[in-house]
Structure 1
Amino acid sequence: MLFVTIILDGAGVGDGPDAEAYGDSGSDTLGHVCEAEHPHLPNLERLGLGRIAPLAGVEPADAPEASWGRLTERAAGKDSTTGHWALAGLVLETPFPTYPDGFPPEVVADFCQRAGVDGILGNVPASGTQIIAELGEEHQRTGQPIVYTSGDSVFQIAAHVETTPLAELYAMCETARNEVCVGEHAVGRVIARPFTGEPGAYTRISEKRKDYSLLPPEATVLDALQDAGVRTVAIGKISALFGGKGVDVETKTAGNADGVAKTLDAIREAAASGEPTFVWTNLVDFDELYGHRRDPEGYARALEAFDRALPDLEAALPPGARLLLTADHGNDPTYRGSDHTRERVPVLMLEKPASGETTPARGEDVGTRETFADHAATVAAFFDARWDGPGAPFA
C-alpha cells in the first residue's frame, strides 16, 4: 500500500472565508497566476484542476481522472508549520507569535548574550533576498548576524558562509530555538539562511537552509501511521516542520525538480519493497522563489515544469496507490506585500487502478471541505490506521 501527498507550497485557490481578518481579501494564487501568465497545464487539467475553480486556460475536464475539491483552513495562522500541522490533523486554536515591528529588545539582548555576538543587524520583517542585499556587506564587515522575520512566525538568521561558517550559524539557530524563542516567544520556526557571493551579487544557498520547528504538542497522523506499521517518508522541508516527530525517513531537497526526482525514487522503492508507505513531499520553490518574491511568471513556469513531471509520477505508482496534490496556504505572487495569503487549497487525488482492473480510474467531486484535517483522516483511512483526531475522509 502506498499513499503519496505532494504539497505545492503556497498554491492556494482563492481567499478563505476569514481572509479579511488576515488582510488577504481577494487573494487567489492559482487564479491570478493563470490569469496573468496562462500556463500550459494539460496534465493538471486532465486530472481535474479546472473543476476546482475557474482558471484561465485550464478547462474543466469532462471526466476528471482524479477526485477534486478544496480544503478550508481553520487553524489560527497562515504559515507553513500551521498549514502542515493542520494537514496532519493538528489544528491550532492559538496562533504562533508574530513580530510585525521586529523582535522586542529583551529577545534581542537574550539572543546576543546566549549566542555570543555583540549585536545583530536588521530585526525587521523583510524579504530574505532584499535584506541580505541591503545588509550583507555590513554583516561581513562587522560579523554581526542578520536577524529578521516576516508575516509568519519565524526567527530567521542569515549569514555569509565565509564570515560565519555553517556550523556556527546552525549553533546560533539551535540556541535561538532552545533557549531564546521559548514561552511567549515560541515562534513556529527558527530558520538558518546561509548565503554566499560578493556585495551586489549575494545568493542564498537554499540546499543549506535549515529549519528548527517546534515539536507538535500532540500526536499527528504521522504518529498514527507509525503505530499502524506504516513507513513514513518525508521529502523536502516536511520533517523539519514536525521536528522529525513521526518521520521514519527524512530526505532533503534542492528545489522542485530535485523534490520530484526524490519522490519518484521513494515511490519506486516502496513499490519494490511492498511495505506500507506514506510519502509526503513539499515542493518549496512555488512559495520561496516565486510567491514571496511576487514573480507570477516564474510561478507559471514552475507549474508547467511540475505538470510535465506528472506522467512520470503517475506511471511509477503501483496498482492501488494514491497520489494527492494539495497545498499548505496561499502565496499570491500578484498580491501586495511579500507574505503568505489566507486561502483555501486545492485537492486532486488520483487512485491507480488495482491489479487486474482495466477501467481507468475516474474522480469525483469531494466538495469544499471544512478543515485541512480531512487530509489526515483520508490518509489514515487508506491504511486502516486508527485516527481519533479531527477530519473526515474524502472517500
Structure 2
Amino acid sequence: MSEFTRTIIIVLDSAGVGELPDAARYGDEGSNTIPHTAASVGGLKVPVLESLGLGRIVPIRGVAPVPHPAGAFGKLTEQSAGKDSITGHWELMGIILQRPFPTYPNGFPKEIIAAFERKIGTRTLGNAPASGTEIIQRLGPEHLRTGYPIVYTSADSVFQIASHEDVIPVSRLYELCEIARAMLTGDHAVSRVIARPFVGRPGAFTRTDRRKDFSLVPPQPTVLDGAVEAGLPVIGIGKIPDLFAGRGITTSIHTHDDLDGMTQTVRAMGEVERGI
C-alpha cells in the first residue's frame, strides 16, 4: 500500500444530505439541502462528485448512483453538542464538545450590550438575530447618520459587528471585535465574534471581503497541531485559520469568495507535496 504524504480537506459549507437526530433542537427538521436544491433546479450536473459516489449516499436528482465509485463515500453524524462552524470544524480535527456554545435567539442580554457599549465608548444598533445582508440594508442608513456599530447574531453562536468602511475604519472594527471577544467569556463565551465590514449607499449596501472571525482557542490539541509538531506544513485557506484561532496553521491564505477559495486550493496543491 502506498503511503499518503498529503491530505486535502474541502468543506462545502451548508451542503448537507439530511437531518441529524437532534435536528428538532435547532429548527432543522426536514433539512436535506443538496437533494432539495437538485429538485428545485431540475437536477444537478456534478460529474466529478457523481464519479466519487455522491449519488450513492442519498437519492439526488440528476446524480446517478454509479456502481463502481472512484472514492469512498458516506454520511457522517456529528457527535458534539451544538451546531455551528467551529463545532463542526473542531470535530473534524478531533475535538468533541460536550456542551453547545451559547446562542441568543432573542438578542444578547441588556447587561452584555451595556458593558460592550461602555468599553467602546459609544452606543450600538440592532442587537437581534438577523440576516447579515438584511440588517445592513435596514439599519445601514441610521448607522451612517449616527456612527453607531450594528450588533447582531444568528442561529449560530456568534456576536457579529457590522460597520461601513467609511464610517468605522476596518482596523477599528477589528479592535471592537477584540474587545467583544475579550469580554464574552464564561456563560457567554460565544464561539465566534465576527467583523462584517460593508460599503455602498442606502438601498445598495454590500459586504466586503474583509470579514474576520475572532474565535475561541481550541481547548485541546487538534490533528492540525499534531501535524505541525511532526514538522508538516498546514495550509489554512479562507476562514480556516480563524476557526482555529490560528493554532495548528503554518500558512494562512486569505480568500475573496468561494471561487477564489478553490483557486487558492488548487494552487496550494501544486506547491505543497506534504502536509495538510
TM-score calculated relative to the size of structure 1: 0.68
1:158-173, aligned counterparts within 5 Å?
Answer: 158-173=162-177
Aligned counterparts of 1:25 and 1:109: Cα–Cα separation in 2: 36
Matched with 1:45 is 50
Aligned counterparts of 1:144 and 1:45: Cα–Cα separation in 2: 49
Q: How far 1:225 sits from its partner (Å)?
A: 1.3
Matched with 1:341 is none
Matched with 1:188 is 191
Q: How far 1:46 sits from its partner (Å)?
A: 1.1
Matched with 1:225 is 227
1:334-345, aligned counterparts within 5 Å?
Answer: none
Q: How far 1:10 sits from its partner (Å)?
A: 1.1
Matched with 2:90 is 85
Aligned counterparts of 2:28 and 2:261: Cα–Cα separation in 1: 29
Aligned counterparts of 1:21 and 1:182: Cα–Cα separation in 2: 24
Paired residue for 1:12, among 11, 16, 24?
16
Q: How far 1:22 sits from its partner (Å)?
A: 2.4
1:268-279, aligned counterparts within 5 Å?
Answer: 268-271=270-273, 276-278=274-276
Query: Residue by residue, what CA displacement relative to the aligned partner does 1:139-174 show, whole Å, maximum 9, x if unpaired?
Result: 010011000000100000000001111111111001
Q: Which runs of 5+ in 1 are unaligned?
A: 279-395
> AA paired with 1:165?
P
Query: Secondary structure of 1:198's partner?
Result: coil
> AA paired with 1:238?
I
Q: Which has the higher contact order (CA 8 A, sep 6+)?
A: 1
Matched with 1:216 is 218
Q: Which runs of 5+ in 2 are unaligned?
A: none
Aligned counterparts of 2:108 and 2:25: Cα–Cα separation in 1: 23
Query: Residue by residue, what CA displacement relative to the aligned partner does 1:297-350 show, whole Å, maximum 9, x if unpaired?
Result: xxxxxxxxxxxxxxxxxxxxxxxxxxxxxxxxxxxxxxxxxxxxxxxxxxxxxx
Q: How far 1:21 sits from its partner (Å)?
A: 2.6
> AA paired with 1:269?
E
- Are residues 1:65 and 2:97 paired? no
> AA paired with 2:269?
I
Matched with 2:206 is 203
Q: How far 1:77 sits from its partner (Å)?
A: 1.1
Query: Secondary structure of 2:256's partner?
Result: coil
Paired residue for 1:22, among 14, 26, 30?
26
Aligned counterparts of 1:223 and 1:210: Cα–Cα separation in 2: 22
Paired residue for 2:253, among 246, 251, 273?
251
- Are residues 1:108 and 2:110 paired? no
> AA paired with 2:47?
P
> AA paired with 1:40?
K
Paired residue for 2:144, among 132, 140, 150?
140
Aligned identity (percent) is: 52
Query: Residue by residue, what CA displacement relative to the aligned partner does 1:126-149 show, whole Å, maximum 9, x if unpaired?
Result: 000000000000001001100000
> AA paired with 1:80?
S
Aligned counterparts of 1:144 and 1:121: Cα–Cα separation in 2: 6
Aligned length: 271
> AA paired with 2:275?
T
> AA paired with 2:102?
P
